[in-house]
Amino acid sequence: MKMIAFSVRDDEEPFFREWSTKNNIQVDLIKDPLTDETMDKINGHDAVLALQTGEYPKSLFNKAQSLGIKVFSIRNVGVDNVDLKEASANNIAVTNVPAYSPTAIAEFSVTLLLQLLRKIDNFRKRSEQQDFRWEGNVGQEIHDKTIGVIGTGRIGKAAISIYRGFGAKIVAYDPYPDSKLAAEGIYVDSKEELYQKADIITLHMPASLKDKHMIDAQAISEMKDGVYLINTARGLLIDTAALIDGLKSGKVAGAGLDTYENESPLFNHDLRGKEIKDPLFNELRELENVIVTPHVAFYTDTAVKNMVRLSLNSAKSVIETGTADSIVNAE
């Protein structure tokens, strides 16, 4: 049995090597992403492991099937950039890591909000200029706010637990409600109702093409004046141009964004000294009431370890038994 992993970071390598030694299975580590140019490297392997926000090659699964690949295992949750139908058509199982650390992402989403509410970035910029005045940066407190949580899976529930610790009121929307939360009466019947009630809206849902630009100009117009938006889910959920308009008008008081709809050429790349030719992203970053981070909400030691080990275990299970609990393209 042989496996190959793409987009392997330095912090992942020890966990890959530890698992490889423990299981006596060869795992070849490739730092480059899986692209048309690197795809030939999968030859001679039984499983492919990958992690990238950008698109995978269109011919990936046809090529993989011809080379005897049995499983394509991604080291993250979201499968919106994976052609599951094509994988199934080529008899290749696709697995994900559905819960590497929900707490990591939930904690980070609250971290973004706290920085916005307490104007941390403004104070930091002033301090760098040795300006230590308070004026103009009065903060707000979470405990008297209504938090609107869209998506109540593992991450959404972890966020709800944290916000309750602050004493905030919770309203939630999910087309597939959690029975325990439903019994507590926190769900509203529609996203529109949540928009009208929430002071802060935090997104914890997967993404599909039907959800593209779910948060658009119309949605923003239905929200409270001075709403805060937090997105640690997927960039395509928010129409960035509409968000910028809302931020400039004051309709949206602030946004904490760990993901961006056109992030693939930007995030996890060293662009120091280079011109960023994305006017929308550049305009977004110039706004004082926005915090942008490069899709790192998941990035803790616990999460990295779990993402590597669970993806490897799933791939091993598929090869040995033909199935795994985390297969996402099962009939």
The per-residue pLDDT for range 279-288, each reduced to its tens digit, is 999 999 999 9
- The residue annotated as part of the active site, out of 12, 86, 261, 263, is 263
**What pLDDT shows up at residue 55?**
87
Decide if 9 is catalytic. no
Residues 152, 275 within the same domain:
yes
Identify the CA nearest to 311 among candidates 19, 2, 22: 19
Taking 80 as the threshold, does the pLDDT of residue 153 lie above it? yes
Interval 183-202 mean pLDDT: 98
Phi-psi region of 103 (alpha: psi -120 to 50; beta: other; left: phi over 0): alpha
Residue 329 maps to a domain: no
Residues 172, 250 within the same domain:
yes
Decide if 263 is catalytic. yes
SS (H, E, C) 80-106: CCCCHHHHHHCCCEEECCCCCCHHHHH
Domain with residue 61: its CATH number is 3.40.50.720
**What pLDDT shows up at residue 331?**
63
Taking 80 as the threshold, does the pLDDT of residue 188 lie above it? yes
**What pLDDT shows up at residue 245?**
98
Residues 170, 115 within the same domain:
yes
- What's the number of domains the chain is made of? 2
Residues 272, 141 within the same domain:
yes
For residue 20, how many other CB atoms are within 10 A of its CB? 17
Taking 90 as the threshold, does the pLDDT of residue 22 lie above it? yes
Tell me the residue range of the domain where 252 lies.
Answer: 102-292
DSSP state of 238: B
Residue 259 maps to a domain: yes
- The residue annotated as part of the active site, out of 295, 309, 320, 331, is 295
Interval 305-322 mean pLDDT: 97
Interval 169-198 mean pLDDT: 97
- The residue annotated as part of the active site, out of 75, 234, 261, 309, is 234
Identify the CA nearest to 159 among candidates 193, 186, 196, 179: 186
Residues 224, 133 within the same domain:
yes
Sorting pLDDT into bands at 50, 70 and 90, what band is 232? very high
Residue 328 maps to a domain: no
For residue 305, how many other CB atoms are within 10 A of its CB? 18
Residue 331 maps to a domain: no
